[in-house]
Copies of this chain bind each other. A is one copy, B any other.
Amino acid sequence: MSLLAANSHQERIEHLPGHRVALAEDAPLRLTSGAELSPVTVAYQTYGQLNADKSNAVLVCHALTGDQFAAETHPVTRKAGWWSLMVGPGRVLDSDRFFVICANVLGGCMGTTGPADLNPETGEPWGLDFPVVTIADMVEAQRLLLDHLGIDKLLAVIGGSMGGMQVLEWAAKYPERVGAAIPLATASHHTAQNIAFHEIGRQAIMADPDWEGGAYFRSGKKPRRGLAVARMTAHVTYLSEPALHRKFGRRLQDRKGLSFGFDADFQVESYLRYQGKSFVDRFDANSYLYITRAMDYFDLAEDYGGKLAAAFKDSPVRFCVASFTSDWLFPTPEAKRVVHALNAAAADVSFVEIDSDKGHDAFLLNEPELHATLHGFLSAQCERTGIPTAPLALIEESEIGESEERVT
C-alpha cells in the first residue's frame, strides 16, 4: 500500500518498515516535566552489523522533522533517506564496519511514542494531553533502546541541528557510554531568534481552525494550512540567502512576465508552497508543536548550574564540533560557545567551521570537507577502539543531484 495515502496515523505506523520495541513497560519513563510514560515505544532502523564485543555502534540522532529512515528510500515520501550521503557502505558512517542505529525521537510521529499515538488511558490519540518532552527525554528513550540492545558504549553519537542537541545531552549525561560525540550545526541552547521562528510555526498551526485545540483526530481533518505555513517559515531559515539566490533568484515560475495577481509568480514562491504542502502529508501537526517545544526548552548550561563547562567536567568523550559559515540559524558563534566550554572543561575537542553557502541544511548535503573531517575523526576513534578503518567511497553525481533538495 502507499503509506502516503494511509487513512490514519495508526494505519501508517503499523505498516512502516523497520523495528519497533515497547520499552519502560515495568518501570515508567519519568520525564523532565515529572510526568511518566509507560510503555515507551521506540521505532528505529539499523544499518550494518553489531560486532561481537558490541563496540561498533553509532547512534544517529535526527533533526526536527527527520526520522529513523536515515539511509534508505523513505517509506512515505519514496525519496532517498535524509542522511544517505552520510550513512551506508563506504560512507562516513560506514555500514560495512559500523552498526548504525537511528531512532525516531520521543514525541515524533513515525512510530516512536508521540501525541498522535493512542493514550492508553483513553484509547484516543493523546493530542495535547501528551506530556511536553525535552531533548533530555528524547535521549532517555534512546538510552532505553541501547539498554534493550545490550549496547553499553557507543563508538560515536552524531547528529545535526536538533540531532546535535541530543549529542550534547548524551555526552553530558552519559559520558561513560559515549566514545565520540559529533554535534553538527547546533547549539547548547535555543536563542531568542530560534524560539521566535518556532513560535511563529506553532501559532500558524494553532491558528488553523482544523487544529481544533489539538484534537483534530476527532474530525478526521488535519490543520494542513497552518502546518504548511509553519513548514514554509522553518524552511526559509534552513537555507542561506546565497543558496536561495542560486536556486531561484527572481526567476519566474512557468511564465514570461509578472501576473499582477497573487498566484506564485516567482519560483521561490512555488517551491515554498510545494514544500509546505508535501510536508503535511508526512508529518503530524501536534508532533511539530512538541518537538519545536523540546528544542526551545533546550539549555544545557541551565541544567548544570548555568555553567556549560560543568556539563562536560572530566569528560572522557572525544568531541568533533562543526558549523557552517552560512548557517544563520545555528551560526558559528553558537558552536564556538560549545567549544569554549569543552576547552574550559579540558575535554578533547576538534572544531571545524566548514565554508559553505548552503545554510543550516549543509549538514544534510554534499559537503566533501565535512565528510573528510568526520571520516578522519572517526578513523582515529576506530584506531583507539580496535575497529578497522577504510577509505571513503566516492559519492555518485546522481546521488548528489538527488540530495540537493534535502531539508532538515
Inter-subunit contact A272/B200 (CB<8 Å): yes
A16 within 8 Å of B by Cβ? no
A225 within 8 Å of B by Cβ? yes
With A229-B229, A236-B200 as contacts: A208 and B207 at CB distance below 8 Å: yes
What is the total number of residues of chain A having a CB less than 8 Å from a CB of chain B?
Answer: 57
Partner of A200, one of B233, B258, B265: B233
Q: How far is the CA of A253 from the CA of B133 in the complex (A)?
A: 20
Inter-subunit contact A199/B232 (CB<8 Å): yes
Contact sample, A vs B, 26 pairs, CB 8 Å cutoff: A32-B260, A33-B260, A131-B260, A132-B260, A189-B250, A191-B245, A192-B244, A192-B248, A195-B250, A195-B268, A195-B269, A196-B236, A196-B269, A199-B232, A199-B273, A200-B229, A200-B236, A203-B228, A203-B229, A203-B232, A206-B262, A209-B209, A250-B299, A258-B297, A262-B289, A265-B296
Inter-subunit contact A226/B250 (CB<8 Å): no
Q: How far is the CA of A163 from the CA of B4 in the complex (A)?
A: 46
Inter-subunit contact A244/B207 (CB<8 Å): no
A337 within 8 Å of B by Cβ? no
Least CB distance, A196 to chain B, in whole angstroms: 5
A241 within 8 Å of B by Cβ? yes
Taken together, the copies of this chain in the complex come to: 2
Instruction: List residues of chain B with CB within 8 A of the CB of A203.
Output: 225, 228-229, 232, 272-273, 276
Residues 263-310 of A contacting B (Cβ, < 8 Å): 264-266, 268-269, 272-273, 276, 289, 293, 296-297, 299
Inter-subunit contact A195/B266 (CB<8 Å): yes
Inter-subunit contact A293/B200 (CB<8 Å): no
Inter-subunit contact B195/A132 (CB<8 Å): no
A229, closest chain B residue (CB): B204
Partner of A190, one of B190, B200, B250: B250
Inter-subunit contact A296/B266 (CB<8 Å): yes
Instruction: List residues of chain B with CB within 8 A of the CB of A193.
Output: 236, 239, 241, 244-245
Chain A, residues 121-146, CB within 8 Å of chain B (1/0): the string is 00000001001100000000000000
With A195-B269, A299-B250 as contacts: A261 and B132 at CB distance below 8 Å: yes
A192, closest chain B residue (CB): B244
Least CB distance, A74 to chain B, in whole angstroms: 25
Q: How far is the CA of A149 from the CA of B229 in the complex (A)?
A: 45
Chain A, residues 22-40, CB within 8 Å of chain B (1/0): the string is 0000000000110100000
Instruction: List residues of chain B with CB within 8 A of the CB of A216.
Output: none
Instruction: List residues of chain B with CB within 8 A of the CB of A293.
Output: 262
Q: How far is the CA of A395 from the CA of B193 in the complex (A)?
A: 30
Instruction: List residues of chain B with CB within 8 A of the CB of A239.
Output: 193
A351 within 8 Å of B by Cβ? no
Q: How far is the CA of A203 from the CA of B265 in the complex (A)?
A: 14
A19 within 8 Å of B by Cβ? no
Inter-subunit contact A236/B197 (CB<8 Å): yes
With A207-B208, A233-B200, A250-B299 as contacts: A192 and B268 at CB distance below 8 Å: yes
Inter-subunit contact A241/B191 (CB<8 Å): yes
Least CB distance, A105 to chain B, in whole angstroms: 17
A217 within 8 Å of B by Cβ? no
Least CB distance, A260 to chain B, in whole angstroms: 4
Instruction: List residues of chain B with CB within 8 A of the CB of A199.
Output: 232, 264, 266, 268-269, 272-273
Inter-subunit contact B192/A272 (CB<8 Å): no
A289, closest chain B residue (CB): B262
